[in-house]
């Protein structure tokens, strides 16, 4: 399994001297918060859409049978809603391990609900990473998620918890909600 821990350490977008750094979470980082933070606020970033196009070898699948999790895909004019966490720089040593299966830290600007903006970091698994799966028919993606599981649990939990968290944030994410609907139909 390719692992991005060292690549992220070499990136120059994290200054250990900074008192705090904003992290933008749009997938499991929204609902599974296993790191300390100083502040958390809903935020958007511009130019990206959330898609279940990344393979998961280490959390919701295995190297032999990868699951499907979200990454961000560039899309002009789009915005993606998530949660922004203000964390201390040392938190990234844990996050780099958690996000090691293809995600690289990118600099971004987050826009809060009141219009305030702040620079920060976001983990994106770009299409050139070894675990990238890319698009597929939605019925196939739902079946793939339904049958996958990994060390962090069933892939279906990832989708259902993300969909629920987005609903609670008041976000209408057609891609996530369509997959959720298709997954739930498979169960009945």
Residues that bind ligand SIN (CB under 6 A): 25-29, 69-70, 99, 123
Pick the closer one to ligand SIN by CB: 134 or 185.
134
Q: Please state, in angstroms and rounded to a whole number, the distance separating the CA atoms of residues 159 and 180.
A: 7
Tell me, yes or no, if 76 is annotated catalytic: no
95 versus 142: smaller Cβ distance to ligand SIN: 95
Q: Which is nearer to ligand SIN, 20 or 106 (CB)?
A: 106
Catalytic residue among 17, 99, 140, 171, which?
99
Tell me how far CA of residue 123 lies from CA of 13, 126, 136, 163, in angstroms.
Answer: 12, 10, 22, 19
Residue 187: both structure tokens together: 């169960």
And the tokens for 70?
């979200």
What is the spatial distance between Cα 9 and Cα 100, in angstroms, rounded to a whole number? 11
CB of 188 to ligand SIN, least distance (A): 26
Report in angstroms how near the CB of residue 160 gets to ligand SIN at its nearest: 14
d(CA 164, CA 83): 14
Which amino acids are annotated catalytic?
Answer: 99
């Amino acid at each position: 399994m390719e692992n991005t821990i060292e690549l992220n350490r070499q990136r120059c977008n994290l200054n250990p001297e900074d008192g705090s750094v904003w992290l933008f979470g749009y997938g499991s980082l929204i609902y599974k918060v296993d790191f300390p933070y100083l502040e958390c606020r809903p935020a958007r970033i511009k130019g990206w859409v959330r898609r279940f196009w990344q393979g998961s070898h280490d959390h919701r699948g295995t190297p032999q049978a990868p699951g499907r999790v979200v990454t961000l895909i560039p899309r002009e004019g789009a915005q993606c809603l998530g949660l922004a966490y203000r964390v201390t720089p040392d938190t990234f040593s844990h996050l780099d391990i958690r996000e090691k299966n293809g995600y690289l830290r990118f600099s971004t600007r987050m826009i809060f609900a009141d219009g305030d903006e702040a620079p920060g970091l976001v983990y994106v698994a770009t299409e050139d990473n070894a675990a990238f799966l890319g698009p597929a028919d939605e019925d196939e993606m739902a079946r793939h998620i339904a049958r996958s599981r990994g060390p962090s649990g069933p892939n279906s939990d990832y989708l259902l918890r993300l969909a629920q968290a987005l609903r609670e944030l008041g976000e209408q994410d057609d891609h996530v909600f369509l997959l959720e609907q298709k997954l739930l139909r498979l169960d009945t």
